[in-house]
Amino acid sequence: MSKLRVAVIGVGHLGQHHARIAASAPEAVLAVVVDPDPVRGPEIAGKYGAPWMATLAEALPQVDAVQIAAPTGFHHALGLQALKAGKHVLMEKPLAATLEEGQALLDTLAAARQANPALVAQVGHLERFNPAVAALRDRGFKPRFLEAVRVSPFPARSLEVDVVMDVMIHDLDLLRALVGRPVVDVEAVGVPVLTPYADLVNARLKFAGGAFATVTASRVARKKERTLRAFGDKEYASLDFAAQKLELLRLVMGPEGPQVQPEQVDIQEGEPLRLEIEAFHAACLGLGTEGVTWEEGQEAMHVADQVQKAVAKSLAELGRA
């Protein structure tokens, strides 16, 4: 079978890693690097042995699939262009900048699938591919309460969106996938600290069927933390995304009565972005079905929208909206 010809669109902070991985992926060849920046584009293209092009339009005839890692504000236009040319698309998270743009992408995907039902459209919610998360899911763990924390020092990037769209959206997608049911109620508070947008947000989600989650995202923390605690029936789990560590604690009957027994789960470490990109290539070649769909990406956007509205309401109550 011939390899998938891929273009990486946007090779900034994250896109350079898309290019690195596509260039060494077993099922694909990095056919083009696209970036309008005349310095950055050729630099990354040269590093990974691919030609550089300034626009997606020039690249489309050369490829079967695109991996879009341009700033979020461009996702909508670039995604539409790629779909209309019949190309498979891996879109970085979030799917789009607004719910309306996300819906337009889904509508265009439905139209494009009339011509090619096998067209693949995935979104880069890469924590789903974190081996520690996969280990938790493999255990069939049924969480009833979850607590996600994703905080980091102030970044120099992605400041055109709030911390919900930039950071919290990872957990909004992951929590829904772990619980396996939709979010039915959202409460949230948050504040702008160093930008005009909310830099620190805490949300409480209620899922259909009665599970709850609290989610904290901040880009004004002193140090990085990306963790998840999940509580089920007589067991709980503690997960560290960056360290790819998972500890399970269970109530068992010991010689002196009930006791909590910790188990450090063996994790085969792997780079989540590589696993996500290789799954996308496999799906495009008809060799696999793994990956986060655009429909799921839009569901995460819907929850993010509810969080943003709740934050705006809480700020209005404080007289700061």
Ligand X SMILES: NC(=O)c1ccc[n+]([C@@H]2O[C@H](COP(=O)([O-])OP(=O)(O)OC[C@H]3O[C@@H](n4cnc5c(N)ncnc54)[C@H](O)[C@@H]3O)[C@@H](O)[C@H]2O)c1
For the residues of 64-113, what is the DSSP string, one character each? SEEEE-S-GGGHHHHHHHHHHTT-EEEEESSS-SSHHHHHHHHHHHHHHH
Of 69 and 285, CB closest to ligand X: 69
CB of 29 to ligand X, least distance (A): 20
CB of 191 to ligand X, least distance (A): 21
Q: Kindly list the distances between the CA atom of residue 21 and the CA atoms of 48, 84, 96, 188, 273, in Å, as whole numbers in the listed order.
A: 9, 26, 23, 37, 8
User: Closest residue to ligand X, Cβ-based?
Assistant: 12
CB of 35 to ligand X, least distance (A): 5
CB of 206 to ligand X, least distance (A): 26
Residue ranges that bind ligand X, judged by CB under 6 A: 9-15, 34-37, 40, 69-72, 74, 78, 92-93, 124, 126, 157-158
Of 246 and 292, CB closest to ligand X: 292
CB of 166 to ligand X, least distance (A): 6
Of 9 and 65, CB closest to ligand X: 9
State the maximum Cα–Cα separation within the chain, in Å, rounded to a whole number: 72
CB of 78 to ligand X, least distance (A): 6
Of 15 and 297, CB closest to ligand X: 15
Q: What are the residues whose beta carbons fall under 8 Å from the beta carbon of 318, sequence distance 6 or more?
A: none
Cβ neighbours around 157 below 10 Å, total: 11
Of 155 and 209, CB closest to ligand X: 155
Of 24 and 55, CB closest to ligand X: 55
Residue/partner pairs of 156-159 with CB below 8 Å, 24 or more apart:
157/12, 157/13, 158/71, 158/72, 159/195, 159/197
The Cα–Cα gap between 71 and 250 comes to: 43
Of 89 and 211, CB closest to ligand X: 89
Residue located via tokens 């655009």: 294
Q: Kindly list the distances between the CA atom of residue 179 and the CA atoms of 144, 296, 297, in Å, as whole numbers in the listed order.
A: 8, 14, 16
Retrieve residue 66's tokens: 């695109």
Of 50 and 78, CB closest to ligand X: 78
Retrieve residue 189's tokens: 């508070």
CB of 169 to ligand X, least distance (A): 8
CB of 70 to ligand X, least distance (A): 4
Retrieve residue 321's tokens: 């909206």
The upper half-sphere exposure of residue 259, i.e. CA atoms within 13 Å in the direction of its Cβ, equals: 7
